[in-house]
Chains A and B, each alone.
Chain A
Amino acid sequence: MKRYQFLLRKIAWSFFTILFVLVLNFLLFRVLPGDPARAGVRDPRLKQEAIEAIRVRFGLDKPVLNCFQSLNPLRLGSCTVNPLDTQFFIYIRNLLHGEMGISFHSNRPVADILTERLWNTVLLIGAGQILAIVLGVVFGILAAWKARTAIDYAALISSLLAWSLPTFWLGIILLFWGSSQGLPIGGKATPGLSSLPLLQQWADIGRHILLPTLTYTIVYMGEYMLIMRSSLLDVLAEDYILTAKAKGLNTFQILKDHALKNAMLPLVTLIAINLGFTVAGALQIEAVFSWPGLGGAIYEAVARRDFPVLQGAFLLIAVSVILANLVADLTYSTLDPRVQPE
């Protein structure tokens, strides 16, 4: 019963956050001056009919919201408009139907472009994240166990160094090195291989994903290592570790059965909090390696001022991160018996 309420509250909270992002996204693209559709309307060279056509095409002829004709709060509009026929509700309704507008650049529906690309990003983040977590945890354990030895200091310094590397720059350096080693310099697959057997196609994708994943792993591994190290150091100084030692358990058993689970718990939360930063890393890596993911989509959309794609990609990323956070929260509550909903 209590657990049920706890779940409900977490889900409600995520829902509220998503709503906040939706409103933010709506407002940002209307308040800030950069959108060419809106900027175009003010272009004195356009004829009145052309302006009207643009306004109708992008739904700008409708009021923003009930009682608000425009975003200027001093200039109120009519409140008798059908609320479903306002810009805000049309925006929400379209989103619910999975419509995010049409790309300025390719004239394709944004939703189609993004769903293709979402999986590529998931693939990249997934591979990099798993490697970074596994290696970070292993080195973190090693450093904490051998605290204050040369191993510990080496791990500490190298993770601080990795933290200081700008992700995109590390990508560039690796790309420079990789291209001299004959690795592909970008994209997800070599064009023209679709006739080859599936296995060879996968091998080709593997060669393409190698450097982006490596970049990702190096950048985030250090952070996970630091977290794991300090968390494990805290746990190893606890009284119950002394109990375990007094019980005659050997070092390996103590680490495995008494320290790791306790030390991993903070890591789960931190992985969740880090997801936002993680996306930032993916964005840079995809830009450098022309990886066809969401980050790459943002990079291209910025360069081409393709605002529907930018808006859609931001929304998709934000919602994914919020949902992933929710999953992490729920996982944590099942892992730690002490988490009792108050």
Chain B
Amino acid sequence: MALVGLAMLIAILFVALFANQLSPYDISTSANISMKDIYNPPGAAHWLGTDDAGKDVLSSFFHGARVSLIVGFFAAFISVVIGGVMGIVAGFYGGRLENILMRFNDVMLVIPDLPLMVVIVALTKPSLLNIIFVIGLLGWTTTSRIVRSQTLAVKSRKFVLRARAIGAGNAHIIRHHILPLVLPLLVVNAILVISLAILQESTLSFLGLGDPTALSWGQMLNFAFGRGAMSAGAWWALFAPGFGIVWVVLSLTLLGHGLEQVLNPRLEAHHLTPGRPVVQSQVPLAPVKVTTEAPLLLDARELSIDYLTKGQPPARAVEKVSFTLHKGELMGLVGESGCGKTTLMLGLLRLLPAAGQIVGGKVFFTGKELTAMSEEGISDIRWKGISIIFQGAMNALNPVRMVGDQIREAIITHSPMLSHSQLKQVDGRVTELLDLVGIARQHKEHYPHQYSGGMRQRAMIAMALACNPQVVIADEPTTALDVMIQAQVLELLDSLRHKLGLSIIFVTHDLGVVAEMCDSVLVMYGGVTAEYGSVDTIYNAACHPYTQELLKAFPDLSHPEKRLASIPGYPPRLENLPPGCRFAPRCPRAIPRCHTEPPALHSLGEGHFASCHLVGV
């Protein structure tokens, strides 16, 4: 986009620079022009016809480019300098100065600028210089705002604070630290200001306020429109200059928008972008583990998920992960950040972001295959069968709708065709749910921003329970909360589980919580199952080195004197996975084979699994 704009701009700059050489006729003289030359249609002699004075439109067009561009560039230069200085000064020095400057800015922003320009130009001599100054002096309002907010953002960055700490003066900081970071934004803004200035010049000229001696495109249109081109049907005299304006403004707009996208790339994918189709597995797969006491609810079999980015090979975020969840079971899902935990959970309900795709495996819920369902089918399962408590409930609740209303919506969605009296019962149910999580009923009609962090998380839990789901996925429900509130929320979840007979998948970093609450544990590393088993096995007989290292990193109450050990290094990046075992680079017990060959998932009996070469003997 930026390139197209740049090419268009260079073309017109070329025309403007070489207007004299390119023009087939000299427009400054009116010699040899007679009545029969007026408004001649385009032809061999005049490619774009002639105007009201019998002059060649093409030649005027070339010269008009020059005038229009000069006005645009110089006026924009004035605007950008004023706006830039004001923005930096206001943002950098702050305080009362900033207040006064920005208030002034607000006032100028509200006053309609074109009528003001018209008034000023009408009261002064209509010369090119006056027009440049008027447009320039009134066009800085957006620039100063943008520059100010960017300066504010840059000002508090670490390196600026450091420069200040070592005693750099304000002027030095502005020149060497602020300006380089504000400049790119200023350039993009300047491009848009130029295009605006060109439009304004043409409008002023068209309204009859242009410099009569400088024939800009707006002036050409003014003459043609005011001197009978309409009635003469001389479309060429009207079309050419307007086309020039559109050409320049469009080229600048494309350039500006293109540059903005380069500087400030935005991933234009969102939650309503249709999900990628599930790649259906043809291989027959069996549930990884079945215990007979309770019915099997959720059953993931060798689920694999890829992230696809344009121009890059797919990144495997989840690789052949299997687990089962029985009624009343609480499974802990453990692993460092970026190990594919959330991806796996979203994949279960096919809620993956647009780049994500299920590329293998199956998921069953009470015997129904979720991975083979239609979008409508899975919509029915969502929330009613399996609901999710999202991490960071701050953003998971809609800020402009009342909390009670959002809970109510979940209920109504899954029980359509309610009669009037039944709708009343829904209200009662909402109150009951909020009671359950300890939120007083008067908060029902409050908005999320009026809640505290802990309340929001509890409201989110109430919402997750609204449709009596069989399975609740709690995705790090306590990460953003302080310790006391964390304990409250966890206690609440645990009590609800026993009261309502819920099955819960609990995604967390916190092994202590897992030990206390969970029945089974799935440890993920780099998108694969590291180890999976009952909570007793994992805590007492962990065989994967990663699990062992994780456990060493948590305090053990029975051996308080033991030192805590952290695992050096970071989890692998998805686009750059090691060829062998994904944990090998950080593994204290790695053998040469670990670096070349990925280990298979070995069954160790009694529902205990680990993927490690050391145990697969």
Q: Could you tell me which A residues sit within 8 Å of B by CB distance? A: 16-17, 20-21, 24, 28-29, 32-35, 144-145, 147-148, 160-161, 163-169, 172-173, 175-176, 179, 185, 233, 236-251, 253-255, 257-259, 261-262, 265, 273, 275-277, 279-280, 283-284, 287-288, 298-299, 301-303, 305, 307, 310-311, 313-314, 317-318, 321-322, 325, 336-338
Tell me which residues across on chain B come within 8 A of A257, comparing CB atoms: 401, 409
- Excluding A34-B122, A163-B253, A318-B116, 10 further A-B contacts by CB distance (< 8 Å) are A34-B124, A147-B273, A239-B390, A240-B396, A243-B397, A249-B379, A250-B376, A254-B271, A283-B114, A321-B110
List the 3 closest pairs (A to B, CB-CB), nearest first.
A236-B270, A280-B114, A32-B123
Interchain CB contact under 8 A, A258 and B398: yes
Closest to A34 in B: B123
Answer yes or no: B246 CB below 8 A from chain A CBs.
yes
Q: Which of B335-363 contact A (CB under 8 A)?
A: 349, 351
CA distance A241 to B242 in the complex (A): 44
Given known contacts A280-B113, A337-B449, A164 and B195 CB-to-CB distance under 8 angstroms: yes
Interchain CB contact under 8 A, A279 and B384: no
CB distance from B157 to the nearest CB of A (A): 24
Answer yes or no: B119 CB below 8 A from chain A CBs.
yes
Interchain CB contact under 8 A, B257 and A169: no
Tell me which residues across on chain B come within 8 A of A148, comparing CB atoms: 268-269, 273
Interchain CB contact under 8 A, A175 and B230: yes
Contact residues on B (Cβ < 8 Å of other chain), bracket? 35 or more
CA distance A166 to B243 in the complex (A): 10
Tell me which residues across on chain B come within 8 A of A244, comparing CB atoms: 398
Interchain CB contact under 8 A, B199 and A166: yes
Interchain CB contact under 8 A, A176 and B230: yes
For B119, give its contact among A145, A163, A255, A314 (CB under 8 Å): A314
Given known contacts A164-B195, A245-B351, A245-B382, A336 and B400 CB-to-CB distance under 8 angstroms: yes
Closest to B243 in A: A169
Interchain CB contact under 8 A, A262 and B413: no
Given known contacts A236-B272, A242-B390, A302 and B122 CB-to-CB distance under 8 angstroms: yes
Tell me which residues across on chain B come within 8 A of A279, comparing CB atoms: 112, 114-115
Interchain CB contact under 8 A, A311 and B109: no
For A246, give its contact among B107, B199, B203, B387 (CB under 8 Å): B387
Tell me which residues across on chain A come within 8 A of B414, comparing CB atoms: 248
Interchain CB contact under 8 A, B107 and A164: no
Tell me which residues across on chain B come within 8 A of A32, comparing CB atoms: 120, 123-124
Answer yes or no: B580 CB below 8 A from chain A CBs.
no
Given known contacts A176-B230, A246-B351, A167 and B409 CB-to-CB distance under 8 angstroms: no
Interchain CB contact under 8 A, A21 and B123: no
Please indicate which of the listed interface residues B230, B271, B395 has the most CB atoms of chain A within 10 Å of its own CB.
Answer: B271
Tell me which residues across on chain B come within 8 A of A253, comparing CB atoms: 413
Tell me which residues across on chain A come within 8 A of B122, comparing CB atoms: 34, 301-302, 305, 307, 310
Interchain CB contact under 8 A, A33 and B124: yes
Segment among B78-86, B206-214, B417-425 that sits at the interface with chain A: B206-214
Interchain CB contact under 8 A, B123 and A303: no
Interchain CB contact under 8 A, A172 and B225: yes
For A276, give its contact among B112, B206, B246, B449 (CB under 8 Å): B112
Interchain CB contact under 8 A, A168 and B203: yes
Answer yes or no: B140 CB below 8 A from chain A CBs.
no
Closest to A299 in B: B207
